[in-house]
Amino acid sequence: MSIIDFLIGLTLMNAMPHFVLGVWKGRMFSAFGFGDRKNMLYGATNLVLSLGLFLFSYGPAQLLHNGIYTGALVLLLIYFVTGRFWYTLFREKPLKTPNRCDDCSA
């Protein structure tokens, strides 16, 4: 394993938590600071770095022959496309409280 292979895996796997927590509005520090959009941008930057390093090192033909990288990349891309949908579907909505006044005199 070379240092480039290590960086390819590191940046690909680092993209997922930053993008997921950015979409789900979790607080996580990134190279661009705190914030939802900053984490999503940092996740996308990691993805581009990983893909760029992989293509530079091995070429586009090897992308389909490396099952581990391709599987992780496909899963990440699926979440990039569908993440907002899953957030909307599964986020906890605040409970509505009825308007009542215990100390009101009628």
DSSP string, 4-69: HHHHHHHHHHHHHHHHHHHHTT----BTTBSSHHHHHHHHHHHHHHHHHHHHHHH-GGGGTT-HHH
Report how far residue 19's alpha carbon sits from residue 33's, in angstroms, rounded to the nearest whole number. Answer: 14
Whether 101 is in a domain gets the answer: no
Whether 16 is in a domain gets the answer: yes
Predicted local distance difference test score (pLDDT) of residue 42: 92
Per-10-residue mean pLDDT, the chain, length 106? 91 90 83 87 93 94 89 89 84 68 59
Q: What is the pTM of this model?
A: 0.74
One-letter amino acid for residue 103 of the chain? D
Whether 100 is in a domain gets the answer: no
Give the total number of structural domains in the chain.
1
Tell me the residue range of the domain where 45 lies: 3-88
Predicted local distance difference test score (pLDDT) of residue 106: 54
